Structure 1
Amino acid sequence: MPPASPTLKAIAWMMGALLSFAFMTISVRELTGEMHAFQMLFIRSAIGVCILLPFLQRQGWGQIRVAHLGGHATRNVIHFTGQVLWISGIALLPLATVTALEFTAPLWGGALAVLFLGEKMNRGRWIAFGLGFVGVLVIIRPGFIEVSDGILIMLACAFFFGATGATTKWLTRRETALAIVFYMVAMQAVMGAVASSFVWTPPAWHQTPWLLLLAITGLSAHYCLTRALAAADATFIMPMEFLRLPLIALFAYLLYAEAFEFMTLLGAAIIFSGNFVSIRHETRSVVR
């Protein structure tokens, strides 16, 4: 069989990232109210370091370099801040609403990639961004529903996540996916240790499965996302994150009986149509 195109590889990696992010959201919801965000992030990152050590031992420590240490530090300060805001938002809003508000992140990430990374927009990507933005407005309905603290927190979170995507794309041009993920868990373990020292409470045994799920999916989500960004432009990859909304809404309905809202489903349909057009445009040459 002929080798898969970079675009198809990017789509496959992105599907892995979407599933990982969904399960990570569920684990955070289960821990919310019992454990502070700082402590969650510290334990997740510490477990992540332990998981990655055997992979680095096998693949070689040579890829863990210090040439772009400043870029890694910038990415992880931005990402750590976004995660704290994200966990706070999950405690205040329904999961589908949290995910919908996150979807302004690809708009920020794509805009930053165009401004600072020199990426170009094509017709398919413009359609994905435009319909993605319209879909989010349908869900949020500014001026028709109350703009709560949770909504403001998630809008700030979305900017930090978008900036994380842009800095990740910059790093993929210089570092391996494994190196980026290793620096993420190593640096954020230190950040989390310092921050959680002020709010630490001993974890309970019943929290162990959720902490393990949080750590594993946190690694797999960012590894898959990094591989996807390495295979295709951020302006193509980032709008695909909109597909998380119907997935999260389904899990929220099955696990927490959070009702499907018509406007959420309508917004998701608009978002999906934009992604479909973008993917069709990018893969047209492969199909031929």
Structure 2
Amino acid sequence: MAELNGVPVPLDALQNLALTNYGHFTSMRVDDHKVKGLSLHLDRLEHDARCVFGVELDRDQVRAYVRKAVAERTGSFVVRVTVFDPQLDMGHPAAAGQPQFLVTTRPAGPVPAPPLSVQTFPFSRDTPEVKHLGLFSQLRLRREAQLAGFGDAAFTEPDGRISEGGTWNMAFIDQDGTVVWPEAPVLPGVTMRLLQNIHDQTATAPVTLESLPTMRAAFATNTSIGVRTITAINDVQLDAEHPVLGKLRSLYADVPGEHL
């Protein structure tokens, strides 16, 4: 399913999106037409529309497009809202200023997702505060990690601080059971923010490859996977059954969804 501004998307609009790849998006897991953190997803779209296109976004209109696109769907699925300008000229991106709204859906995976092992790579996201469409480098490194026998890639800054995964945030559990979110340039994930708000033993601090062995457990998180256990980072093994992981899943499950 794909609708552009509430109608079936024309082929030429998709061609322009594929050729220019300039825009931003948010993805939301929908369960019985409710979304955890829906207001935060709309806040993200508003913020990123200002950064990417210099315009104010009508959140009520976006919400109406999403409701229309998923009206006939039931159960659980993931909906993505991609904001781009179908008339954008690659030679004159400064002229882009009338973004449109592409709404697509895909099946939702199981929650919790299977445990994950990750390999780290030096990499810093371009404009990490924006959930933009530029994913080539992240997917290239994910491919390299998978070819090396890992499930995914995680990234480190030039000073050795661990930051995030290609399409997810990550956090650690220290010896005291505190959830430690990396102090590094990362995408401000909606699920990350929800978890920070509902868990009372939380901190933000640098986590480096050198300090990694002092951590007891780790997890990846985004709207699609919830709290996904990380069992290993490079050759460092982590506790897949740490009790805080179960507590986080329980707390997150109890977060009420907002109606679309």
TM-score of the superposition, structure 2-length normalised? 0.24
Which protein, 1 or 2, shows the higher relative CO under an 8 Å CA cutoff with sep ≥ 6? 1
Q: Which has the higher helix share?
A: 1
TM-score of the superposition, structure 1-length normalised? 0.22
Q: Which has the higher strand share?
A: 2
